[in-house]
């Protein structure tokens, strides 16, 4: 004979298991949203930047400090603006062109020459992140297995799109890193044949900004 207490215990074990699964996937998505924010901050600090070799690292460090406390929405807004507007700040326009100066910009465009789709997809993810934290969890019925299953389905679908953006941004960071290394190597070869001093060449290699890789 199966007692009512046995049914109650079984139901409790079931809801505890699915609750743990939902919380695990919720934490996974929140962490990946944080990684997305980190990746955008790396790009913001490293692109659309110009100046003499010894100035670049200071410019990048200043941007890192300025962006450190910004939210994902604020970072996305800055990054979207950087894709559609040309950098006009004084740091990018030397008063005189009698010294070595570098400039690095980033444009993300589709086959029609527009970055609108990319920017729209990022904005959608930010809205979903805010909806998840501020609304979706508030609607959760913590006593309902069906409610937890619905949340898990929502999180899994969302996760696939977060990962796609993380992969793309990670590829951009890797591309920038590879380009910087190749450019430094090319510059070193060129300067070794020029009358410039060895100190100047060494300074350019040491002071070039080096964006850390995005963690997956």
What local confidence, expressed as pLDDT, does residue 197 receive? 44
Number of folded domains that form the chain:
1
Backbone angles phi, psi at 88, to 5 degrees: -120, 5
- Show the domain range for 148: 4-207
Q: Which residue has the higher pLDDT, 87 or 189?
A: 189
Lowest-pLDDT range, 1-10, 31-40, 107-116? 1-10
* Separation of alpha carbons 16 and 191, rounded Å: 66
- Residue 126 counted as domain residue: yes
Q: Is 104 helix (H, G, I), strand (E, B) or coil?
A: strand
- Res. 128: pLDDT tops 80: yes
* Whole-structure pTM value: 0.71
Residue 176 clears pLDDT 90, i.e. is over it:
no
Question: Residue 214 domain-assigned?
Answer: no
Cβ neighbours of residue 78 under 8 Å, at least 6 residues apart?
44, 67, 70
> What per-residue confidence (pLDDT) applies to 93?
52
Domain membership flag for residue 113: yes
Report the distance separating Cα 103 and Cα 51, nearest Å.
7
Strand runs labelled E in 97-146: 102-104
Neighbouring residues of 86: CB distance < 8 A, sequence distance ≥ 6? 105
Flag whether 30 is in a domain.
yes
Residue bearing tokens 């199966």: 2
Q: Does residue 121 lie within any of the structural domains?
A: yes
Q: Is residue 216 situated within a structural domain? A: no
CA quadruple 136, 138, 139, 143: dihedral sign: positive
């Amino acid at each position: 004979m199966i007692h009512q207490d046995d049914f109650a215990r079984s139901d409790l074990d079931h809801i505890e298991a699915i609750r743990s699964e939902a919380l695990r996937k919720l934490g996974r998505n929140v962490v990946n949203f944080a990684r997305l924010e980190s990746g955008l901050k790396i790009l913001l600090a490293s692109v659309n930047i110009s100046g003499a070799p010894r100035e670049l690292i200071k410019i990048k460090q200043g941007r890192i400090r300025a962006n450190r406390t910004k939210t994902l929405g604020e970072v996305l807004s800055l990054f979207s603006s950087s894709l559609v507007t040309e950098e006009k700040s004084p740091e990018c326009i030397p008063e005189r062109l009698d010294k070595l100066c570098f400039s690095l910009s980033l444009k993300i465009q589709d086959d029609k020459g527009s970055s609108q789709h990319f920017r729209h997809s990022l904005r959608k993810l930010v809205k979903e992140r805010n909806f998840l934290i501020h609304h979706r969890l508030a609607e959760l019925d913590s006593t309902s297995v069906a409610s937890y299953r619905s949340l898990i389905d929502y999180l899994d679908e969302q996760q696939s799109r977060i990962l796609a953006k993380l992969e793309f941004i990670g590829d951009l960071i890797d591309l920038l890193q590879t380009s910087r290394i190749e450019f430094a190597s090319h510059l070193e070869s060129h300067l070794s044949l020029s009358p410039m001093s060895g100190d100047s060449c060494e300074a350019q290699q040491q002071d070039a900004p080096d964006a850390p890789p995005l963690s997956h």
